Amino acid sequence: MPINKEILELRRKASERRPDFIRQESWRYDRLAETWRKPKGIDNHQRKQKKGWPKIVRAGFGGPKIARGLHPSGFTDNLVYNVRDLEKLDPKTDGVRFGHGVGKKKRLVIISKAMEKNFKMFNARVSTSGSKS
């Protein structure tokens, strides 16, 4: 059950109005992916926003400020590297994502502490099998 439902709903409505930003002429050439790249040519039609060309990314297309940084579950997304980082967070509003460099041993300690305090964990997967040789 997500928290901040109203805020997430605002973000969803804003994303419905947002156009699909696609790379210039990606529909013409197979070698170009649709991933956004800013058009920079001096006479570029898309950069000049000529009629019939896709929209370009601008500040006004962003979502609501209060929804930024929220995980789809409604919790804020916080990187954690050690147990002390957990002490600064509130389990009712803050979610936990473990840093990439946190190893298995320390991760298990942090997970047990996070479960004790009822934190929402986004990447708590820990494999107990498999060892380095």
pLDDT tens profile 7-17: 999 999 999 99
pLDDT at 1: 56
Give the pLDDT band (50/70/90) at residue 125. Answer: confident
pLDDT at 124: 80
Assess if residue 95 is contained within a domain. Answer: yes
| 97 DSSP β-pair partners | 79
Assess if residue 2 is contained within a domain. Answer: no
Give the tens place of pLDDT for each residue, 29-44.
999 999 999 999 999 9
Our count of domains for the chain comes to 1
Q: The sheet that has 94-98: what strands, in order across it? A: 76-80, 94-98, 120-121
Assess if residue 129 is contained within a domain. Answer: no
Assess if residue 42 is contained within a domain. Answer: no
Assess if residue 84 is contained within a domain. Answer: yes
In whole numbers, what is the pLDDT of the chain averaged over residues?
A: 91
Residue 126 has pLDDT above 80, yes or no: no
Residue ranges in 28-130 assigned as alpha helix (H): 83-87, 104-116
Assess if residue 7 is contained within a domain. Answer: no
Across 37-47, b (16+ Cβ under 10 Å) vs e yields eebeeeebebe
Distance CA 57, CA 48 (A): 12
Assess if residue 111 is contained within a domain. Answer: yes
State pTM to two decimals: 0.71
Return the beta strands (E) in the chain as ranges: 76-80, 94-98, 120-121
For residues 93, 97, 103, 107, the Cα torsion angle rounded to the nearest 10 degrees is 30
Assess if residue 104 is contained within a domain. Answer: yes
Q: Which two tokens stand for residue 76?
A: 């804020």
Residue 103 has pLDDT above 70, yes or no: yes
Give the tens place of pLDDT for each residue, 71-97.
999 999 999 999 999 999 999 999 999
Domain that holds residue 114: 76-121
